[in-house]
Amino acid sequence: MLQLMKDALLIYDITPIQYGVLKCLWELHMTNPNEISEKLGIDKSTMSGILERMENKDLLERSIDANDRRYICIGLTKKSRLLEKPVTDAVQKVNDVVLADFSADDANTLRIYLRKIM
């Protein structure tokens, strides 16, 4: 599945973990890198490198938190906002391929269990 996801995201120059960060921004409106690293199960030092690479690709921007200058906020760029629909569609196609051999009930059960372990 990971290879299918890598292949689907390659044309957007996004890795699966970068997709995870973008999904946190797109859907959960998270702006705190620490919250995102916790959500994705990534240690903070690794997250810092991921964010730097994403910033270099113009996928996100970092700024100082207006409420507490000790913290960094991250936000979407125009480029990453425009990528939301095509990337989400590409990921959905991968999910459809992976779940093709499951019944609708089994696929739903699998999603429920995967969300529980996340």
pLDDT tens sequence across 37-51: 999 999 988 999 999
Q: Which CATH number fits domain 2-117: 1.25.40.10, 3.40.50.970, 1.10.10.10, 3.40.50.720?
A: 1.10.10.10
| DSSP label of 29 | -
Q: What angle do CA 37, 16, 89 make, to 5 degrees?
A: 115
Q: Given this model, what pLDDT does residue 36 score? A: 94
For residue 118, what pLDDT is reported? 62
| Distance of alpha carbon 34 from the chain centroid | 14
> What is the model's pTM?
0.88
CA distance 22 to 29: 9
Mean pLDDT, the chain, integer: 91
